[in-house]
Structure 1
Amino acid sequence: MTNHSSPQNPAVTGVVLCGGGGTRMGGTDKPLIRFRGAPMVEQVVTRLAPQVDQLVISANRNLKTYAAFGQVFTDSPMESRSPLTGVVRAFQEVASEWLMICPGDAPLLDTALVKRLRDAAPPSGAAFCHDGYRAQVLHLLLHRSLEPILAAYLDGGHRGVEGWLNTLARSRVVMVDCHDIAASFRNVNTTDDLD
């Protein structure tokens, strides 16, 4: 990991989300599936770590396995019905001003994505990617000041990432055109996606 932190460029922690249930793949812990010779989570970590000041992994099972790739924290399995619970826990676990959220099953992550989102993000806001076809809301840069708003959204029984982003004032969130790196957002939802 590289120290990118300065008063003009506050610290960013990368958060790799690995807490999903893998329901579309029969309950498989998807980030641990091998893709092109290595577990997907390893590939995400390898690509994300040089772009951030610190890296953590949010997981709810196979914690010892994930610990080989970085610092691991968990949220309650009862709370894990949304990736946003991992984001709230990340805010509780780290002190960085910004969190860069990435799914653990997107092994082709662009190696300059954090800079692209950081350059576009409004102060105290959020920036997420659009691949030219749809929003990629789990490739998301968030400022710490959004944590109470996010926690209240979850406390209200809501779960959707895009739904939460839609609740934010337009001045606090920006969608970044990333069509030129669309392959970066490829994730694995079925065994066919491993090809």
Structure 2
Amino acid sequence: MGVVLAGGAGSRVGGADKGLLPLNGRPLVEHVVARLRPQCDRLLIVANRGLDDYADHAPAVHDETEGHAGPLAGLVAAFGFLACNRQALPRWLLTVPVDCPDPPRDLALRLHAALAADATACCAFARRTGKPQPLFAMYRVDDDPVEWRASARDALHEHGSAWRWHAALEAIGVGFDAPGDAFHNLNTPSDVDEYERAHAAS
């Protein structure tokens, strides 16, 4: 199952909902969903506003915290959703942020391979040029989303850092030799303009 984390405050785009900003004529979230759909049997979007708009692209749920508490709040909501919908519980949960339109096409395949090769590992995340990309991650859900939700919630309240949470989980880092924009976040209007110019020229 793929989860798009779309709960950011959009502070660098004037408070706008980044996932719904137009990118080459389509909402940013549509680009992310199109890249994930071939990799995942199901998709879920976690957001804290605009749920009706997000639901046009995939099932959408509200995160469980007030304000904009960051990506860990989205993970708490995703695991909470699974805990309440056990009839079709996935074994794996893949996450990506909504402001990265071009995640690697083999993201799920390679993170899954790392977890399949180490039965003791519960989480794998992407690395590029040695730098961790903790929001591009896969979790071994198995049969216990309640425990996962509690773990993510504790990390959210203690420090709010996905990277520190992964360190505590002893997560596996998986190196990606992906194109330069595969993990590039579009944080500002100028980032969006630059992306559109680059892809119009390619």
Structure 1, residues 118-158: CA drift from partner, whole Å, max 9, x if none?
A: 00124351111111152111101112256132233234x32
- 2:153 counterpart of 1:151: yes
Q: Which residue of the other structure, out of 105, 109, 114, is the alignment partner of 1:111?
A: 105
What amino acid maps onto 2:187 in structure 1?
N
Quote the residue 1:69 is aligned against. Answer: 57
Aligned residues: 179
Quote the residue 1:98 is aligned against. Answer: 92
What's the CA shift for 1:77?
A: 4.3
Q: Which residue of the other structure, out of 142, 152, 156, is the alignment partner of 2:139?
A: 142
What's the CA shift for 1:176?
A: 0.6
User: TM-score by structure 1 length?
Assistant: 0.85
Counterpart-to-counterpart distance in 1, 2:130 and 2:10:
24
DSSP-derived class of the 1:15 partner = strand
What's the CA shift for 1:90?
A: 0.8
* Alignment check: 8 A CA contact 1:105 1:187 kept: yes
What amino acid maps onto 1:179 in structure 2?
D
Counterpart-to-counterpart distance in 2, 1:113 and 1:181:
13
Counterpart-to-counterpart distance in 2, 1:81 and 1:113:
26
Quote the residue 2:36 is aligned against. Answer: 48
Percent identity, aligned pairs only, is: 35
User: TM-score by structure 2 length?
Assistant: 0.82
- 2:161 counterpart of 1:163: no
> Structure 2 stretches of 5 or more lacking a match?
83-88, 195-202
Quote the residue 2:200 is aligned against. Answer: none
What amino acid maps onto 1:152 in structure 2?
D
> Structure 1 stretches of 5 or more lacking a match?
1-12
Counterpart-to-counterpart distance in 1, 2:100 and 2:156:
25
